[in-house]
Chains A and B, each alone.
Chain A
């Protein structure tokens, strides 16, 4: 039997759902694949990768599935007795409890809308997800906060790893060239904060990454797009009066 086992698609080939990836029992079905008889089929549109005996597929598109420890960007949609309801740009809204929102003590009768109002955007971390995708959030970690300036754009959640890049190479490049502060939520919302020109350029670069993410040499392509220019960082509001 082992003589007949073989992979029938190439590494990094685009496959469609149902397509046969391998024949024979020597290979194992990994993420987004399944086995019927002695054949392994694709379960999603994506790129094939072979790691030893395991075949898996990296999706080219698709919904975000909430995971513990993920940093995401959400929008406050409602205020309850004990916290805030946050829209996560998925099919599931999340809860941010008062005790996870600040380190400060909040009195029972305090007006929660004074802390976060409906419509506020937050950079938060997921601390719990149930089987029904009910989500709990926290703000009590470094880097997590309320967003009060800049712009939010939405990208496909599957492209987030490409926007960050290997060892954050891509996002470092974007930050340097555009002078923007960039925060990427795993749910596909990206917060850009810089000069209007910088934000505009960063948005276009991120759209380019989203479009070309399946191709090789992405960093070079983006570098070429951003060119030799280097936009200045925006002066923060605090720094401005000192200069004047």
Chain B
């Protein structure tokens, strides 16, 4: 059986409804939230500030540090233990790797910029929402950046190549009895806007080379939609009245 149409009725290249806002955490130097469907990421940026522990300091340039946390009630309702986990640490690392190439901290040696992302609600695509929100928060904090990064997941559900998978599509076998053993592959990507470079490309599942190349095309189109939402939110914050 094939996956005939998407469970929520979207077209293959449609993303879930997006919403974004900056300046949501007044205490932070910069902040933003980014919502895509039921996934909601809040990012706050602090710094550049003194780095602790001291041995992490880099005398050549400032250090970027990321934290990723799902709130205890954010998933299916099964309580998520607060604090870090192996998964959260990995995603924080992935976030740092996809943000580090665009921020320029050479003017701030021996300092640190901390990026905290909290997710009050999740429905797949959290690392992408986290990266998109973090990029907005960094820009809002006035950190020098050579580009903006926008992230979204693309992937394969059975034979369809789709953008922005939600939780049900990632676990299609459970939710659509027609395709109970259909192959699923989830490919989160993060792309810089001006240079079109990729700073994140992961793959969970099986893909052929042809599928991957098509997905990258689809991803370029999808990240562009995310970029528009990010930019509008940043500029809206400074519109007259």
Which residues on A are within 8 Å of B, measured CB to CB?
Answer: 14, 16-20, 32, 34, 36, 41, 43-46, 59-63, 65, 90-93, 131-133, 156, 158, 214-216
Contact = CB atoms under 8 A, between A and B. Distances in A.
Contacts of A131: 109
Contacts of A41: 146-147, 194
A92 B51 CA distance: 10
Contacts of B231: 16, 19
B144 A92 contact: no
Interface stretch (B83-91, B100-108, B123-131, B207-215): B100-108
A19 B109 CA distance: 26
A198 to B, nearest CB: 25
22 contacts: A14-B238, A17-B102, A17-B147, A18-B102, A18-B192, A18-B195, A43-B104, A43-B145, A44-B143, A45-B139, A61-B29, A61-B30, A61-B141, A63-B29, A65-B107, A90-B49, A91-B49, A91-B50, A92-B50, A132-B110, A133-B109, A215-B240
A133 B57 CA distance: 14
Contacts of A19: 194, 231
B111 A92 contact: yes
Interface-centre pick from B62, B143, B239 (highest chain A CB count, 10 A): B143
Nearest to B143: A62
B interface: dominant SS? loop
B188 interface: no
A227 B127 CA distance: 49
Contacts of B194: 18-20, 36, 41
Contacts of A132: 59, 109-110
B107 to A, nearest CB: 6
A91 B145 contact: no
A60 B142 contact: yes
Contact of A18 (B50, B107, B147): B147
B235 A16 contact: yes
Contact of A62 (B112, B142, B147): B142
Interface string B189-227: 000111100000000000000000000000000000000
A61 B142 contact: yes
A32 B144 CA distance: 8
B155 interface: no
Contacts of A215: 240
Interface in B29-47: 29-30, 47
A159 to B, nearest CB: 11
Contacts of A91: 47-51, 62, 108, 110-112
A82 B49 CA distance: 25
B140 interface: yes
Contacts of B30: 61
Nearest to B192: A18
Nearest to B49: A91
B55 to A, nearest CB: 16
* Closest CB pairs A-B (n = 8): A62-B142, A91-B111, A61-B142, A18-B147, A17-B145, A18-B194, A91-B48, A45-B139
A44 B141 contact: no
Contacts of B104: 43
Given A44-B142, A45-B140, A65-B107, A17 B148 contact: yes
- Candidate in A17, A41, A43 with the most chain B CB atoms within 10 angstroms: A17
Contacts of A90: 48-49
A61 B140 contact: yes
Nearest to B235: A14
A158 B102 contact: no
B34 to A, nearest CB: 15
Contacts of A133: 108-110
Contacts of B139: 16-17, 44-45
